[in-house]
Amino acid sequence: MIRAQDVSKYYGSKRALGPVSFEIEDGETVGFLGLNGAGKTTALRIFACDLRPSAGSVVVGDIDAVKNPHEVRKRIGYLPENPPLYTEMIVDEYLSYAGRLRQMSKQQIEKRIPAVLEATDLTEVRNEIIGTLSHGYRQRVGVGQAIMHEPMLLILDEPTRGLDPVQIVEMRNMIQNLKDNHTVLVSSHILTEISETCDRLLVLGKGNILASGSESDLAAQMQNTARTIVAVKAKEGASSEEVAKILREVESVSEVSIGGMEEGATVFEVLSGGEVRAELCRVLVGGGHDVLQLARNHRELENIFLKLVKDGGQSSARN
């Protein structure tokens, strides 16, 4: 468990963060979401023991990160915004060097490197000079150094920054796999880049936590409405109106509208007070209908996020 209690950071008289308080459970993947200058890097650097808070306490596991940063650092892997790469080194050599910095033995390093190369999908470039790699590969090398010593907590500051759309998907998949072995804190200023990977999002604005919850929790919090798009191929003889009726009966669904046809399926838009995708799927399949697509409306969530950060959380966001 990681616990931040009344943590704040000032640079001179300028407040960059806080006071903020929150807890993160072991094994959770939490996304820090906010526009530039929101305080994401400051928060992550404090967790990584790269920066001392001006006030407040941070506990990682049972260890006080302010009083005992050295012990906490041993348990943390950190990918800063600008990865600390030695571009003239070969990937293998660099990972080995990162292991030595973490006081791993030669045997431990030799055993660990193949696993790290596999987790970061770097095996094919293991003998390449880092400086000759694309930005996406370099970013993965940065993640590689962070996981060499198998830390319990992995902190990734904007790992998707500057990546092209294909590399973003690859990075997302990599984080998804890393979740199995680490508690992960990851930051971004783009909701869709991290929302699917994270169990929970902390939305930061001007150093404050504006909202916290899963993507659909946030949507529900902000508008009391989550919007889901369902494409249904109704069973033989059933009308779209009959399908809509089934959807309306799901708890917390407030509105169902019938859209057009897409590839032989009718598209329904469902408004609800929270996450209903699993239940929608259950009732439709239970009623003998085929579900061809089920998705939350991302554009709307992006708008909600923008509204949250623009309002500075003063309208309806929760602290």
Among positions 56-115, residues that touch ligand ATP (CB under 6 A) are 81
CB of 241 to ligand ATP, least distance (A): 48
CB of 90 to ligand ATP, least distance (A): 30
Residue 37 interacts with ligand ATP (CB under 6 A)?
yes
In three-state form (DSSP H/G/I as H, E/B as E, the rest C), the secondary structure along 281-293 is HHHHHHCCCEEEE
CB of 309 to ligand ATP, least distance (A): 10
The nearer residue to ligand ATP, 19 or 34, going by C-beta atoms, is 34
Q: Do 318 and 211 contact (CB within 8 A), yes or no? A: yes
The nearer residue to ligand ATP, 171 or 243, going by C-beta atoms, is 171
CB of 100 to ligand ATP, least distance (A): 29
The nearer residue to ligand ATP, 14 or 299, going by C-beta atoms, is 14
Task: Using the rule CB under 6 A, give the single segment among 37-45, 67-75, 100-108, 284-292 that binds ligand ATP.
Answer: 37-45
| C-alpha distances in Å from residue 132, one per residue of 87, 90, 91 | 8, 10, 11
Residue 38 interacts with ligand ATP (CB under 6 A)?
yes
Tokens representing residue 205 in the block? 């604005």
The nearer residue to ligand ATP, 14 or 70, going by C-beta atoms, is 14
Candidates 18, 19, 31, 34; binder of ligand ATP (CB under 6 A) is 34
Q: CA 173, CA 178: separation in Å to the nearest integer?
A: 9
Task: Give Cβ neighbours of residue 82 (< 8 Å, ≥ 6 apart).
Answer: none
Binding mask 4-33 for ligand ATP (x = CB under 6 A): -------x--x-x-----------------
Q: CA 87, CA 94: separation in Å to the nearest integer?
A: 9
Residue 40 interacts with ligand ATP (CB under 6 A)?
yes
CB of 50 to ligand ATP, least distance (A): 12
Q: CA 69, CA 54: separation in Å to the nearest integer?
A: 15
Binding residues for ligand ATP, rule CB under 6 A, total 13
Residue 209 interacts with ligand ATP (CB under 6 A)?
no
CB of 35 to ligand ATP, least distance (A): 7
Q: CA 223, CA 315: separation in Å to the nearest integer?
A: 11
Residue 136 interacts with ligand ATP (CB under 6 A)?
no
Among positions 183-202, residues that touch ligand ATP (CB under 6 A) are 189
CB of 228 to ligand ATP, least distance (A): 30
Candidates 29, 41, 96, 208; binder of ligand ATP (CB under 6 A) is 41
Q: CA 276, CA 219: separation in Å to the nearest integer?
A: 12
Q: CA 91, CA 239: separation in Å to the nearest integer?
A: 59
Tokens 């930061």 belong to: 204
Backbone angles phi, psi at 7, to 5 degrees: -85, 130
* 162-191 b/e (C-beta count within 10 Å ≥ 16 → b): ebeeebbebbbebbeebbeebbbbbbbbeb
Q: CA 144, CA 138: separation in Å to the nearest integer?
A: 10
Q: In the complex, which residues of this chain contact ligand ATP (CB under 6 A)?
A: 11, 14, 16, 34, 36-42, 81, 189
